[in-house]
Chain A
Amino acid sequence: MTAHHLHEPSATEQRVAALESLLVERGLVTTDAIDAVVATYEQDVGPMNGAVVVARAWTDPAYKQRLLTDATRAIGELGFGGAEGENMVVLENTDAVHNVVVCTLCSCYPWPVLGLPPRWYKSAAYRARAVREPRAVLAEFGTTVPDGMEVRVWDSSAELRYLVLPQRPAGTDGLDEPALAALVTRDHMIGVRR
């Protein structure tokens, strides 16, 4: 870790502040517009949206079929879409297959349903190791995949954004959609948890 860097004045931080001043001065952006973007992704958009999609798929077979056939459109039915939410593909976990999502080149991620990616998703270690040794990576998340179950790793890109549809947990027959959605986490929908 480079903890000592955290306490030094950051050159990058100063460059960012200078860029903001420059762009505001030139009238290319406004401080309000920046604030609005930050507030949206800190407060309004996040994995709770994806959880709603998953819960609907668990309770409505026709919806699940539409989701697996045309994910972008089916997710749009629930009101989620926009930047980085185009070209969605939903990957269904089954008894035979467990899906894991990575972006090996940068940080592609389905913003409308998951918000912005967590720090580990963007790390060089996750980007490289998720492909090379997915089971070892999953183990670090506390996730064990049985030997007979295939692990499929999907590399996100601008062309395709993935969302994992986890298996509905046993013993949840009596739960309604909001209660089911509360069981679904970001990590389930990236596929690092089962």
Chain B
Amino acid sequence: MTPPSIPDLDQPRDNGDLVFTAPWESRVFGLVTAYLEATGQPWEAFRQRLIVAIAAAPAGAGYYESFTVAFEALLAADGVVSPEA
């Protein structure tokens, strides 16, 4: 059995870096960071939900998909959106 390969090993990069592969990924990252700052919450408040979302994600799900799920969970916990949204 071949172990799963690690994506993008050959992606061109230098000391700068391609950190987002699509604009929406940068939006959700910026959104979470700005929201935590605006509401005075530490990154840890989000991180615990990110761990849960990554663990629950279907195989092949992208990192920023899980990131979005985790943010929705945080917003639901904060009462900003309803849990099923």
Contact = CB atoms under 8 A, between A and B. Distances in A.
Interface of A: 2, 10, 12-13, 15-17, 19-20, 22-23, 26, 28-30, 33-38, 41-42, 46-48, 51, 83-84, 105-108, 115-120, 122-126, 128-129, 133, 136-137, 140-141, 158, 185-186
B77 interface: no
B38 A118 contact: no
- Binding site secondary structure of chain B: helix
Interface residues of B, number: 50
Interface of B: 3-9, 11, 13-22, 24, 26-31, 33-35, 37-39, 43-44, 47, 50-51, 54-55, 59-60, 62-65, 68, 71-72, 75, 80-81
A12 B31 contact: no
A149 to B, nearest CB: 22
Given A33-B38, A107-B63, A108-B47, A124 B27 contact: no
B27 A17 contact: yes
A167 to B, nearest CB: 19
A47 B14 CA distance: 9
Given A17-B27, A120-B6, A136-B3, A12 B19 contact: no
Contacts of A33: 30, 34, 37-38
Contacts, number: 141
Nearest to A39: B30
A119 B51 contact: no
Given A125-B5, A126-B6, A116 B29 contact: yes
Contacts of B17: 46-47, 115-116, 118, 186
Contacts of A125: 3-7
B54 A42 contact: no
B50 A107 contact: yes
B28 to A, nearest CB: 5
B5 A38 contact: no
B13 A28 contact: no
A42 B21 CA distance: 12
B19 A20 contact: no
In the complex, the 3 A-B pairs of residues with the closest C-beta atoms, listed nearest first: A34-B30, A125-B4, A37-B30
A14 to B, nearest CB: 9
B39 to A, nearest CB: 7
A140 B8 CA distance: 11
Between A20, A29, A158, the greatest number of chain B beta carbons within 10 A of the residue's beta carbon is seen for: A29
Contacts of A48: 15-16
